Amino acid sequence: MFRANLIQAYGTVWNHSEPTAAANESDFKQGGLTMSIHRLRLSAVTLIAVAMAGCSGGGSPKPASPAADTPPAKAEISTEPVTLNFYTEGNSAVLADQIGGLITKKFPHIKLNTTVGGGNIKIEDVVGAGQVPDLISYSLGGVTKLKELQLVSDLTPLIKKHGFDLTRFAAGVEENVRSFSDNDGRFILMPFELNNNALFYNKTIFDKFGVAYPKDGMTWEGLLDVAKQVTRMDGGVQYKGFRFEETNLVFKNQLGLSFVDPKTLKASLGNDGWKRWLSTMTAFHTIPGNDLDTKISEKDEFMKVQTLAMRTGPNFMSELPAAVGKGGFDWDVVSLPDFQGFEGKGSQFNAPYFAIPPTSKYKDQAFQVIDYMMSDEVQTIMSKQGRLPIVKSDKAKSEFGTGIDGLKGKNLQAFFKDTVAKPAPATIYDTIAKTSMVKKGIRGIAIDRKDVNTALRETEEDINKQIEAAKAK
C-alpha cells in the first residue's frame, strides 16, 4: 500500500523485493549491488526549518542500560511475509542497495520498499502525504526533525525482547544516544557505524619540501607550525598547508562546548572556550597562501588538485584508490589532532542511525533488520569497506579497510584514536547554532578578516535571531 500510494502521488519508488543477488562480501565491493535507485520527485508539502548536519538533542543521559546484565534469549518472531517501508537519507543513503541485499538473503520473508531521500525528496513530504515509514536511516543532524515529526520511538522494549546487548557498543556510544531523548533516558536511535576522523596528508608535498610527516598524537597548536612549513608557492603553483571541512569539525566540537544555553535558549558563545576554539581553527587561514577558497571543497583540493598538504573531514577512503590510479597519489593518515590539555578526550558523537516510528505495525521485523546490521558479521563486512564499526569486535576493527585496494600499509588504526567524548549540553536549536558558527564565525574570520571577538558576537546575534524566528513559527 505504501509503494502504490506513493507512486500514485509522487512517482517511482525502488522496491527491493526479489533476491536477485547474493548478499555477501562481494555486495560491498565498490559499486555494491547493481540495482538502481529511482529517486522520488516530490513537491514540497511541508517545510521544517531545521538543518540536517551534525547532531542535536537535550539533557543529560541516564546511565542505566536495559541490557547491562546477561541478555535474555531472543524472542521468536513471525516469519510471515511482510513489506517494510524503509526511508533513508543523508550519509547512510549510499547503503540502500547494500542493506537491501543483506536483508533479502538473511530474511527472505522481509521485503524492503526503499525510498531514498535527498534533493527534492524530504521526509516531511513523505509523512505529509500520509506515507509513514516502518524503518528510517538518517544522519544525526536530523534527530530534531524526526522528533518533531514524531518519527522516533523508545527502542528499549525491542532491545529487551530481541536480547540486544548494548554493552557491545564502543565506549561512550550508549551514553550519547540516551542524551538525545529529552533527559528521560530512553533509547530512541540505533547508530550503526562510527564517524571518526583522521588527518590525511599528501606525502609527495612533504617530500617535495623536505618536511617531516605529521605524527599520531599531535595537537592543533603543533599542527599550525607544520602547516606553515608546507604552505609555499613553487613553480607557479600555490601549495596549501591544511584545511578542514568546517561543518564536520564544528559538529565534532572537541572542547565539548555548549552552543545554546539549555536554560535560557540563548547562544552561549561569549566565553574563553569558544574564543580558543575559533582562534585556533581559523589560525590556519591566516597563514599567507593558505586562504580559504569556498569555491572548491577541501576534499577536491586534497584528492583531485593535489595541492593541499593536509586535510580532515568526512572519511572518503573508498574514493582514494581511484585518485591514486589516476596520478600516483601518495598519501597516509595520522590521528586527528587534539587541543592542548584535551588530549584523549575524543570528539562529540556524530553517526548515522536507524529509528522506528511509533506507528509501524512491524516493529519486530524492523528491529530484526537493525539487529542484523549491528551483528559482528555485518559490522566486519562494512569495516572491510572503510566504514568504522560501532561495536567492540576486535575482528571488525582488525579488518578495517582491508577490502579496499591500495590501503595496505596505511596507518588506518589512526581512525580508532578519535574516540567518542561525553555528550556536551545540547538543545533543539544546536543545528541552527552550528550552521551559523560556520557561516558567521569561521568564515567571518577566514574570509571577511574580522577579529575573533567580532566574529563571535555577530555569530551569537545571528543565532539568537534565528532561534526567535523558529519559536515564532
pLDDT (tens digit, 9 = 90+) per residue, 194-203? 999 999 999 9
**Averaged over 25-45, what is the pLDDT?**
37
Residue 327: predicted pLDDT: 65
Average pLDDT across the chain, whole number: 85
The string of pLDDT tens digits covering residues 286-321 is 999 999 999 999 999 999 999 999 999 988 877 887
Say yes or no: 388 and 444 in one domain.
Answer: no
Structural domains of the chain, count = 2
Residue 53: predicted pLDDT: 38
Burial of 111-144, coded b for 16+ CB within 10 Å and e otherwise, reads bbbbbbbeeebbbbbbbebebbbbbbbbbbbbbb
Say yes or no: 126 and 214 in one domain.
Answer: no
pLDDT band at 181 (very low <50, low <70, confident <90, very high): confident
**Averaged over 69-74, what is the pLDDT?**
57
Say yes or no: 176 and 202 in one domain.
Answer: no
User: Is 420 inside any structural domain?
Assistant: no
pLDDT band at 396 (very low <50, low <70, confident <90, very high): very high
The string of pLDDT tens digits covering residues 215-256 is 999 999 999 999 999 999 999 999 999 999 999 999 999 999
**Burial tier of 231 (Cβ tally within 10 Å: 0-12, 13-18, 19+):** buried
Cell numbers standing for residue 140: 544525526
Q: How large is the greatest C-alpha to C-alpha distance in the chain, in angstroms? A: 69
Say yes or no: 285 and 359 in one domain.
Answer: no
- pTM value is 0.81
User: Is 413 inside any structural domain?
Assistant: no
380 vs 357: CA distance, rounded Å: 28
Say yes or no: 388 and 278 in one domain.
Answer: no
pLDDT value at 110 more than 90:
yes
pLDDT value at 467 more than 80:
yes
265 vs 267: CA distance, rounded Å: 7
Residue 406 vs residue 281, higher pLDDT: 281
Sign of CA dihedral 36, 191, 425, 454: negative
Residue 19 vs residue 439, higher pLDDT: 439
Residue 436 vs residue 315, higher pLDDT: 436
pLDDT band at 70 (very low <50, low <70, confident <90, very high): low
Residue 183: predicted pLDDT: 61
User: Is 231 inside any structural domain?
Assistant: yes
> CB of 20 within 8 A of CB of 49?
no
Q: What CATH number is given to the structural domain containing 40?
A: 3.40.190.10
Say yes or no: 283 and 328 in one domain.
Answer: yes
Say yes or no: 227 and 320 in one domain.
Answer: yes
Residue 48: predicted pLDDT: 36
Residue 456: predicted pLDDT: 98
User: Is 288 inside any structural domain?
Assistant: yes
Residue 22: predicted pLDDT: 36
User: What residue type is 53 in one-letter code?
Assistant: A
Say yes or no: 127 and 58 in one domain.
Answer: yes
pLDDT value at 276 more than 80:
yes
pLDDT value at 66 more than 50:
no
Residue 74 vs residue 64, higher pLDDT: 74
Say yes or no: 107 and 226 in one domain.
Answer: no
Residue 73: predicted pLDDT: 62
The boundaries of the domain holding residue 241 are: 198-346+429-472
Say yes or no: 274 and 217 in one domain.
Answer: yes
**Averaged over 106-119, what is the pLDDT?**
92
User: Is 466 inside any structural domain?
Assistant: yes
User: What residue type is 152 in one-letter code?
Assistant: V
Percent of the chain predicted with pLDDT > 70: 83
User: Is 396 inside any structural domain?
Assistant: yes
User: Is 368 inside any structural domain?
Assistant: yes
Say which range, 69-78, 222-231, 460-469, has the weakest mean pLDDT: 69-78
Residue 30: predicted pLDDT: 35
**Averaged over 7-25, what is the pLDDT?**
39
Say yes or no: 242 and 151 in one domain.
Answer: no
**Burial tier of 275 (Cβ tally within 10 Å: 0-12, 13-18, 19+):** middle
Give the C-alpha distances (Å, rounded to integers) separating 147 from 178, 217, 359.
14, 38, 13
The string of pLDDT tens digits covering residues 322-331 is 777 666 789 9
Say yes or no: 317 and 436 in one domain.
Answer: yes
User: Is 421 inside any structural domain?
Assistant: no
